[in-house]
Amino acid sequence: MQPADGELLRVLADFLEWVPQPPGDLDRLVKNVAGLCSLLRDEVRVTLRNERAGDRETEFASLVHDWRRALFPRLNDDQFADAYAQTVTFALLLARVENIHFEDRTVEEIARLLGKSHSLMGKALDVLTPGWVLGRVATTIETLRRVIGTVHWDLLDDGTGSAYLTLYEQFLAVYDSELRKQTGSYFTPSAVVSFMVRFVDDVLRTRLGLRDGFAAPDLCVVDPAMGTGTFLVEIIDQVARTASVDGEVVRAKLRELAERLVGFEKQACPYAVAELRVAEAMRHHRTELPAEGMCLYVADALDAVDTDNLLDEFGEPLKRRLGSAYEPIERSKREADKIKSTRHVEVVIGNPPYLERAKGLGGWIERGSRSAQGVQPPPLDSFRADGEGKHQYKLSNMYIYFWRWGTWKAFDAHPKAPTGVVAFISAASYVAGKGFAGVREYLRSTADEGWIIDLSPEEHRPPVPTRLFPSVSQPLCIGIFARYNKPSPRTPATVHYLAVHGTQAGKFDRLQTIHLGDPSWKACSTVWRAPLKPPAEAGWASYPQWKIYSHCRVWVLRPIVPGSTTQIRPICVSAGSGSFGHPPRRRACFSRRRVIAPSTNGYRRSKNSTNRPHHSATRLGRAQSRSGWDFAASTGSGSSPMVA
Ligand SMILES: C[S@@+](CC[C@H](N)C(=O)[O-])C[C@H]1O[C@@H](n2cnc3c(N)ncnc32)[C@H](O)[C@@H]1O
């Protein structure tokens, strides 16, 4: 068959003989590659949709099935299409960064060579591109191979180590800026990371008695949402700085660190970049990587701890072994699971993703688990406070799931090793927001000491020049909570607060000077659920409101500032004949002084309440103990107000 004018032949010849130009800079590389990557994702989506529309499962769908079993049990088709395209693209880029030549090599050969230095990415490229898959998306993968094959990484890398980071940041913005929002992929400015690492290092030294801070032997450190590995790189540099001026001592310390510095990341692209950056940081200190690689895993940090023993909704084991074809991927998953389940982690640090209305995305943290060993309730329940029901939907936020994962891992999961530190830069809504009272209560009752560094004292929608991340409008803070000893749930943690004002550059500068003994720290309330702010700065709106129930009417009283003495003489409204909607009749219901008196820790607690709220109390007692404030109200004329 040949068209009369030979046009088809010319098009085919053009394609086959086309030699792509090497990109002259990162911008050009990103533009070329991100477009092809999103084309590949769309093709995989369409192929899967067509397969699903037919009445039998075909090859692409079985690839999804295997990928779920190997790595992400809850992956849907669209997420798979995205993972597929990102993994293939970044594996090929990784191969060029490692100087693997593409001429006359098939994707399969490239995957095998890549597997020698990056076993997981090499294997991922291999299993995702078997011959029959290539047939379906052959043109796009072949174009990617040819375009990426021209890359001379040495010419694009300026040697400062920022090229990998720029590559990924720019890639994400061009490839899918909406996905960037959904996955919370905002990369942490180095001023923030260096502050957090230095501060936690000080906490380890001065509060936990670990003289060498992050360099202390056996101290396990996890970034559960490592992105491109910024925190891990900073910790490597911190340990190198601490170790000594002697190169051999530094190398020995870093070799030891490599076995206890852990990162989880859900997406293949940032994972690949993290691998490169961490390897480069080790190389910079002339330290070879361990033969089995660093402890970096493509994993969902929030997923069930031990999927091997989990049952699906029909009671069948969720995961069966896939055999040697997937071995490096399965090994990585097994090791990640082992860290989640059995390894005692002392430090959890990072910048977790932010995503509101994330109900259903919190994995095991949100759902708990059913396994052959029994039912485990959702760890998120520890962040719930009774009486907060209508605001608790706000806990359905990715950053809260990560706070719960971090605190569970450092404080709850290993009772025999109770000490630890959790440090996150995250949204600040838990500091004073409604719906987060249970988070504050948990933090106060679980930790011994905490620090809140308020990065957005300008409050909601801070002006752009003051934002640390210009495109993130939520107020942010750094929260660091530490426990030094066995749990003492009846003693509230001492929490310190410090606000950082000014422009973005001013805030970065200020972070470099904040230290444990900084005179700007202010003491926060010790009331269990009160804002993690000094009482004077918490404001009216953030104090709990009191509701007084009288028959069927509810009165919401103005919040009461601790330390003040307030006289309340509410006029209670009864429902007259008792029917709803009947015009209310006014009558005095009660009249008594309500005294909130300061005590040594700021507020006097009700006599019969322990420090820790007791949940079996009456509604009135519960309200007293929850707030820790005295509430002295007596009923008037037979009416019995209840406080909830
Ligand atoms: C804010 S970024 C982290 C930035 C990182 N600290 C850096 O500076 O490169 C959050 C990262 O968490 C990852 N992530 C989101 N959900 C995750 C999950 N369930 N498990 C592991 N990683 C996750 C996202 O892919 C994203 O790369």
What are the tens digits of pLDDT across the range 363-387? 999 999 877 777 889 999 999 998 8
- pLDDT at residue number 579: 30
Length in residues, the chain:
644
Q: Is the Cβ atom of 184 under 6 angstroms away from ligand 1?
A: yes
Please enumerate in sequence order all residues whose Cβ is within 8 A of that of 83, keeping only pairs 6 or more positions apart, or say none.
67, 72, 75, 267, 268
642-643 β-sheet, strand order: 553-557, 546-550, 642-643
Q: Phi and psi of 423, rounded to 5°?
A: -135, 115
- pLDDT grade, residue 620 (50/70/90)? very low
Encode pLDDT of 391-416 as tens digits.
Answer: 889 999 999 999 999 999 999 999 99
Cα 28–33–34 angle (5° rounding)? 100
- Binned at pLDDT 50, 70 and 90, residue 56 comes out as low
Ligand 1 centre from 184 Cα, in Å?
7
How far is residue 496's CA from residue 537's CA, in Å, rounded to a whole number? 13
pLDDT tens-digit series, residues 247-284: 788 999 999 999 999 999 998 889 999 999 999 999 99
pLDDT of residue 209: 96
pTM of the model: 0.80
Lowest mean pLDDT among 184-188, 192-196, 211-215, 227-231: 184-188
Strand 221-223 with 546-550, pairing: unpaired
pLDDT for the residue numbered 438: 96
Evaluate: CB of 353 within 6 angstroms of ligand 1.
Answer: yes
Q: Which of 70-74, 409-413, 570-574 has the lowest mean pLDDT?
A: 570-574
The verdict on the CB of residue 189 being under 6 Å from ligand 1 is no
Q: At 68, is the pLDDT very low, low, confident or very high (cuts 50, 70, 90)?
A: confident
- Taking only the tens place, the pLDDT of each residue in 118-165 is 989 999 999 999 877 767 788 899 999 999 999 998 888 877 767 888
The whole-number pLDDT of residue 70 equals 83
Residues 233 and 283: their CA atoms lie apart, in Å, by: 11
Q: Among 185, 296, 297, name the best residue to mutate to test ligand 1's pocket (greatest count of ligand atoms within 8 A of Cβ).
A: 185
| Test site for ligand 1: of 74, 186, 267, most ligand atoms within 8 A of the Cβ | 267
CATH superfamily of 183-539: Vaccinia Virus protein VP39 (3.40.50.150)
User: Which strands make up the sheet holding 522-523, listed edge to edge?
Assistant: 295-298, 261-265, 221-223, 347-350, 420-427, 476-483, 449-454, 494-499, 522-523
**Closest residue by CA, ligand 1 atom 12:** 225
Residue 309's pLDDT is what? 57
Question: 51 and 57 in contact (C-beta within 8 Å)?
Answer: yes
On whether the CB atoms of residues 135 and 77 are closer than 8 A, the answer is no
DSSP secondary structure letter of residue 317: B
| Nearest atom within ligand 1 for CA of residue 300 | 20
Q: What is the mean pLDDT of the chain?
A: 80
**471 pLDDT above the threshold of 70:** yes
Residue spans of the domains in the chain: they are 13-177, 183-539, 543-626
